[in-house]
Copies of this chain bind each other. A is one copy, B any other.
Amino acid sequence: MTTTASDHDRIVQAADRLFYRRGIQAVGMDAVRAESGVPLKRLYAQFASKDALLIEVLHHRGAIWDSGIAAAAASAEGPRAKLLAVYDFLDAWFRTDDFRGCGFINAFGELGAVSSEVAAAAREQKLAFQHYVGALVAEMGASPVLAAQLALLAEGAQTTAAISGLPDAAIHARAAAETLIDAALLTA
């Protein structure tokens, strides 16, 4: 049985695709209407403004990211493997055709200075990721400093893959992560 997607969901998904592909300010509400197939009147019945839609899109994108990370971790045994699975997840993502960097980093660069809500959404997403890494590092009995370092590698890989066009960034990040983990466990 096929449940037709709600206006709300179709709008969010269409806006997410467009914002990610072209940037936020480059996408007009009319393009969102065309991509979602939802007329402007119903669109504005769901979202008070483009800004409100954007915040919802960012939360949606955060949920997608979280579930992707969780799925990657599910096929790994133990905290060390789950940590390394993050970089495998990044590697697969970087090699997708429409990869254009981290949507939160991009949104922050575009609107972080002008919209405190956008800045907050990006910050929350990044802090949640750092917390996730921190929990696995703690489970390994290593220092929280290692967690910060592993998160740096993941963030750096995302910008490098996007801007420099080097998808191998994930592989390099993974190798560096292994080195750092091993070093941290030795001194623990």
Contact = CB atoms under 8 A, between A and B. Distances in A.
A88 to B, nearest CB: 16
A113 B23 contact: yes
Contacts of A112: 23, 100-101, 106, 162-163
A148 B172 contact: yes
A145 interface: yes
B155 A172 contact: no
B175 A22 contact: no
A60 interface: no
Interface in A132-150: 145, 148-149
B152 A173 contact: yes
Residue of A106, A108, A114 contacting most chain B CB atoms (<10 Å): A108
